[in-house]
Structure 1
């Protein structure tokens, strides 16, 4: 097994919520909408297809042919708008397994990705993609097996519904929870279950508590959580590293610097999601793959 096959990594290609926010004041954290790539056991898993998926796609052009598993939390624009610009999807010989839950209106993830590429919204249809695209309907609460990787799923509290994912490989776990809104009187049981003892928890922290409860423009019912709630979840679920994610488009680099500082005081394992950031999930190596003692001898 190669060195890469023995690693569990998480890379961030898009960390912004709602709408792409490029500009001089978002350079350090990034302005692309959600896309997170995980690699475990030689498998590539991609979560959400915001504009960050286009950036990821450009990097993959040097590695073709590509096989990857793409998981959508839901189909709001900021989570699918990069898919029509995912260049590897247009290249014959690439293989993509695409997962998403059936929406409340009964539409599948395939139907919704297809619809956003119809006239007058887009010049070419989904069918022009030459890569092999296999679609799977996710049932929140049921696990997905990919070789020795287990992807656990759970429903999230979001208008139009959304799905959270937990990737388990060997003794490591990385969790992707966005978009979700916390409850006022309790911790979300589904979120807690996904986050339990996770090495990395990526959590929707769009707002601050002050913004969420603002008397002038409250965000209650908008389907997103706060970084303070993220800290509560991380502590209660015994999370090692908390990643503050889905940054509000109005939050510039200086604002996010302050959030990061405050979050780290309350939870030393808290960090801010940045485009390009790569995290390692610690895993133990099975005895069968350890290096023989003889190889260390002179």
Structure 2
């Protein structure tokens, strides 16, 4: 068996359908990973709706079990869950993993968007067994699959995830901004080998270098790195602090980690297919001029990759 990755949503912030985004897709973040019969999903953006319909068609009435790992609970990463059909079907089992917030557990963060002020069907009316599991920086096992989590730099409790199976690995970096500031609500995001870092105490250069190394170690030798490149380097200064990255930084981390395959994702809602094409072209030129050997492409709705 091998890892199979399929992209169901690659857009950031808000669904962006239309003629100008039809090739890469307008649905927000959702990535499916299969190993044999295990169904593992990362994020429940609007892309989880078509995924759910596909799972229903495959199951033909048989019970469905899904392990759903949430990077963080900003709307573009959970807004599709109320439309995830398998969660409404009795005998199905949906296990949702993610971080509790200081003021609200993961379960309430999900159920809140389905209160009657916002949605006609409450989460308790879902027919499936929906189970919530709070996680931190740790490694879980699902059969022979290891899934590790690491807090990253984003205005929330946001994770990157690493999947290891049979000598192969995939890393989904989630929403992440270079370490020019401290955005995460979790102190663990800024710990290295048990030492708490602070940008004011350590200084910008040391702070960034140590945390870049931590992130690169998490991504070390991955067969595929899926990385947030919502902005261009030119646009980033205007949106610093919003929690997203740009291609040059993604290449920097990929190179430090020895990654050979880089997927650009979290496309900005204003990015047309042509703009995404241009970003890929620019990134490939940057890789070439830097004398690196990294395959680069943009994540795209429906794209399937076999990691073997």
**TM-based fold match above 0.5:** yes
The answer on whether the counterparts of 1:16 and 1:30 sit within 8 Å (CA) in structure 2 is yes
Match of 1:251 among 271, 279, 289: 271
Residues 1-298 of structure 1 correspond to what in structure 2 (within 5 A)?
6-64=1-59, 65-105=63-103, 107-139=104-136, 141-184=137-180, 185=205, 186-187=208-209, 188-213=212-237, 218-267=238-287, 268-282=294-308
The answer on whether the counterparts of 2:161 and 2:174 sit within 8 Å (CA) in structure 1 is no
Structure 2: how far apart are the matches of 1:21 and 1:99?
Answer: 27
1:193 Cα deviation after fit: 2.5
Structure 1: how far apart are the matches of 2:285 and 2:131?
Answer: 44
Cα deviation digits, residues 58-104 of structure 1 (max 9, x gap): 11111222111000011100000000000111011211111011123
1:264 Cα deviation after fit: 2.0
The answer on whether the counterparts of 1:177 and 1:191 sit within 8 Å (CA) in structure 2 is no
The answer on whether the counterparts of 2:213 and 2:256 sit within 8 Å (CA) in structure 1 is no
Cα deviation digits, residues 177-231 of structure 1 (max 9, x gap): 1111112443524421221110000111100110002xxxx11111111111111
Q: Which stretch shifts more, 37-46 or 189-198?
A: 189-198
The answer on whether the counterparts of 1:14 and 1:51 sit within 8 Å (CA) in structure 2 is yes
The answer on whether the counterparts of 2:23 and 2:273 sit within 8 Å (CA) in structure 1 is yes
The answer on whether the counterparts of 1:54 and 1:85 sit within 8 Å (CA) in structure 2 is yes
SS at match of 1:150: strand
1:253 Cα deviation after fit: 0.6
The answer on whether the counterparts of 1:66 and 1:95 sit within 8 Å (CA) in structure 2 is yes
The answer on whether the counterparts of 2:223 and 2:260 sit within 8 Å (CA) in structure 1 is yes
For structure 1, which runs of at least 5 residues remain unmatched after alignment? 1-5, 283-298
SS at match of 1:25: helix
Corresponding residue of 1:285:
none
Structure 2: how far apart are the matches of 1:84 and 1:190?
Answer: 35
Structure 2: how far apart are the matches of 1:190 and 1:62?
Answer: 41
For structure 2, which runs of at least 5 residues remain unmatched after alignment? 181-204, 288-293
Q: Alpha carbon RMSD of aligned pairs, Å?
A: 1.2
Cα deviation digits, residues 117-157 of structure 1 (max 9, x gap): 00210011001111111211011x21111111110111011
* Residues 240/137 of structure 1: CA separation in 2 closer, same or farther (3 Å cut): same
